[in-house]
Amino acid sequence: MIEVFPGVFKHGNHLFTRNRVKGKRVYGEKLVVVRGVEYREWNPYRSKLAAAILNGLSVMPITHNSNVLYLGAAQGTTVSHVSDIVVDGYIVAVEISPKAMEDFLLLAKRRDNIIPILGDANKPEMYEEYLDDINVIYQDVAQPNQTEILSKNARYLKHGYTMLCVKSRSIDVVKNPKKVFRESVSQLEASGLKTEQVVDLEPYEKDHAMIISHKD
Ligand SMILES: C[S@@+](CC[C@H](N)C(=O)[O-])C[C@H]1O[C@@H](n2cnc3c(N)ncnc32)[C@H](O)[C@@H]1O
């Protein structure tokens, strides 16, 4: 196992994180034990963050002491790996769907660094009391106004990084995805977020990119 970023491990072309909850799988992933440490395999077809890492993410803003605002938690597939990585930090995880939240709560109960919030990422004022010490915002909501949502939430970021998963078809079904990604970058720059990298997520996710930006 090679540690490619703090808390992120690679063996061959497979990614792993150290399991925070020994013996427990979250989405049927493989568990492996190496020298007494249990790791969970991280599937890039199920998690855009894993896809971005395998596709050459150069700076990994999420590290052992990050406090992450995660928008669009769904059932918690990616959140669970972020929870493995931020051993000394925490995740404020927002999800709008009560159905997805039901499953997500079972995960959050077992992982003491996750604060689950049933809420709308369009309205950060509803959960602003949790945002004081956030230093990374990760967003994966697949909505037409996804850059606007990120800009609204980034107002609560004093300084740090944002990671935006852009699904071009959610913004415009016919427009060339590369054009959609360029326009998203311009909108983020206009709101004070400076682009570090744009990572294409093919072949793991079609017409998706991750935009990594920072706020000084
Ligand atoms: C593509 S899925 C997220 C997958 C998840 N990030 C993962 O990798 O495990 C998008 C999620 O965003 C949620 N969502 C959509 N609009 C939202 C909003 N305005 N606020 C919060 N969550 C939202 C959806 O209900 C859905 O669960």
Residue 202 pLDDT greater than 90, yes or no: yes
Q: How do 136-139 and 160-167 pair as beta strands?
A: parallel
Q: Which residue from 81, 77, 67 is spatially nearest to 39, judged by alpha carbons?
A: 81
Residue 122 Cα distances to 4, 146, 165, 196, angstroms = 34, 9, 16, 24
Residue 170 pLDDT greater than 80, yes or no: no
Residue 18 pLDDT greater than 80, yes or no: yes
pLDDT at 180: 84
- Level-2 CATH architecture, domain 45-215: 3-Layer(aba) Sandwich (3.40)
pLDDT band at 166 (very low <50, low <70, confident <90, very high): very high
pLDDT at 179: 87
Sign of torsion over alpha carbons 49, 53, 58, 60: positive
pLDDT band at 44 (very low <50, low <70, confident <90, very high): very high
Residue 37 pLDDT greater than 90, yes or no: yes
Output the CA torsion 11→196→167→201 (10° steps). Answer: -30
Does ligand 1 have an atom closer than 6 angstroms to the CB of 143?
A: yes
Secondary structure class of 129 (helix, strand, coil) = helix
Does ligand 1 have an atom closer than 6 angstroms to the CB of 17?
A: no
Burial of 195 (0-12, 13-18, 19+ CB in 10 A): middle
The answer to whether 188 and 178 have CB atoms below 8 angstroms apart is no
Mutate to test the pocket of ligand 1, among 15, 139, 140, 168 (most ligand atoms within 8 A of CB): 140
pLDDT at 178: 86
- Each residue's pLDDT tens digit, 99-139: 999 999 999 999 999 999 999 999 999 999 999 999 999 99
pLDDT at 66: 98
Mean pLDDT in residue range 3-8 = 98
pLDDT at 36: 95
Task: List the domain boundaries for the chain.
Answer: 45-215
Tokens 């004081």 correspond to what residue?
Answer: 132
Distance 36 CA to ligand 1 centre (A): 35
Strands, E assignment, the chain: 2-5, 8-11, 14-18, 31-34, 37-42, 67-71, 90-95, 114-118, 136-139, 160-167, 194-200, 208-215
pLDDT at 181: 86
pLDDT band at 150 (very low <50, low <70, confident <90, very high): very high
Question: What whole-number distance in Å separates Cα of residue 89 and Cα of residue 83?
Answer: 8
Residue 189 pLDDT greater than 80, yes or no: yes
